[in-house]
Amino acid sequence: MKKTGVKYKGKPKNIIRIIDVTNRDGVQTSRIGLAKLEKTMLNIYLNEMGIYQSEFGFPVTKHETNYINANVELARIGVIKPMILSGWVRAITGDVEAATKMTDVEHMNLSISTSEQMLYGKFKGKLNKNDIIKMMTSAVELAKKRKIKTIGVNAEDASRSDMNFLIKFAHEAKAHGAARIRYCDTLGYDDPFSIYKRIRLLVSEVNMPIELHCHNDLGMAVAVSVAGAKAAIDGGVDAYINTTVNGMGERAGNADLVSTILAIKYSSGFKGKYALDERIKLSCAWKIAKFASYAMGIPIPVNQVAVGTNAFAHESGIHADGALKDRRNYELYDYEELGRGEPEIIETGRMITAGEYSGIKGFRNVYDRLEIKFTDEKIATKILDLVRYANVHTQKPLTHGELRFIAKYPEIAKKIFTMSP
Ligand SMILES: [Zn+2]
């Protein structure tokens, strides 16, 4: 084995990038939902934050069609750029065919289970390992034929899969044109040591970039993700960590976006030794965490890494004294770096909000405060109408970001709100 964690000089050979899956794993979760406008805003914020890719939805789910196409349009006109928008489908030709027929999606992740548990427990023994490989390779071939630009292949339940089969599966994926293999720790079964060994072996056998998709059922999602990434980099390939905003995802959730970035930037074994995608702007952390919390209607826990109320609070005598003398005594990183520190203005007097039954006067007041003027009455009425529709979807006062987006891209907003079952 090569030496691990060697300090890199100059340009690092391999880097860790982030693929956020909030708009897929996050929203498929019980009790968690986002309106299509909120998903769109999240894509815009993830792009601002320098995230490499957003897994932005399900191209074969009918109610996502307009949202998916509208967001691809935002990518094409440069609003969401350079972030890649990738759709999630099952690794079957039917899904690839439907996705490319129903939407303009340009990048895809194709997913299929690889563990014995799933073969017998989910597929009830109707599929054997060869069938799994055949289905996956046919789906990859078709995606290639349909000119899908990035094809990722997801091994669901990889952490409980037989290693020899996983290697064979990855080999076949690569041979048929997949750009990356996604190692899914679907049940959060791996620990940092087990994933390190498994990814190191996988990389030495197949030599292709690895995505780490880890769940938090044992409270280790971030630790397991970064350990997996370390193994990929030590093995000489790029690593892509799957995250979600505020860690929201199936059951106990996924690796939290902000925690993962901080772990790579500041933990003792990673700091200065492993390179994180240079595009990442941690200064967007506060804004995106707050927005996701508001949109999902789920408060951020007080002790949440970096963005919780207590993340920079000190009270006990020794800690407060120490933090005041030198912040490094009790803080590993600065709150300013996360976009924290600005006082938030909360209206305590009269407040006009924009909603589904708003009238033109209140609506104008809302936009005046954003310093957005409409050239004529006709346009104002049109935007008001769209704002009403937006609120039908979100069912809470629209954020300034959402109001600005609707005023700036009314035609795309209209597409996002349009749903016809
Ligand atoms: Zn997942």
Distance CA 387, CA 120 (A): 49
2 pLDDT exceeds 60?
A: no
| Ligand 1 (single-atom ion) residues, CB below 5 Å | 25
Map residue 181 onto helix, strand or coil: strand
**317 CA distance to ligand 1 centroid (A)?**
42
Tell me: the pLDDT tens digits for 169-182? 999 999 999 999 99
**126 CA distance to ligand 1 centroid (A)?**
24
Q: What pLDDT does 6 receive?
A: 55
φ, ψ of residue 229 in degrees (nearest 5): -65, -40
More confident residue, 149 or 359: 149
**340 CA distance to ligand 1 centroid (A)?**
29
**186 CA distance to ligand 1 centroid (A)?**
6
φ, ψ of residue 21 in degrees (nearest 5): -120, 20
Distance CA 24, CA 225 (A): 18
Q: What pLDDT does 3 receive?
A: 52
**113 CA distance to ligand 1 centroid (A)?**
12
Tell me: the pLDDT tens digits for 239-260? 999 999 999 999 999 999 999 9
**313 CA distance to ligand 1 centroid (A)?**
33
289 pLDDT exceeds 90?
A: yes
pTM of the model as a whole = 0.95
**171 CA distance to ligand 1 centroid (A)?**
22
Distance CA 190, CA 110 (A): 22
**249 CA distance to ligand 1 centroid (A)?**
7
Model confidence at 5, pLDDT cuts 50, 70, 90, reads low
**32 CA distance to ligand 1 centroid (A)?**
14
**146 CA distance to ligand 1 centroid (A)?**
26
Q: Which two tokens mark 59?
A: 């191209």
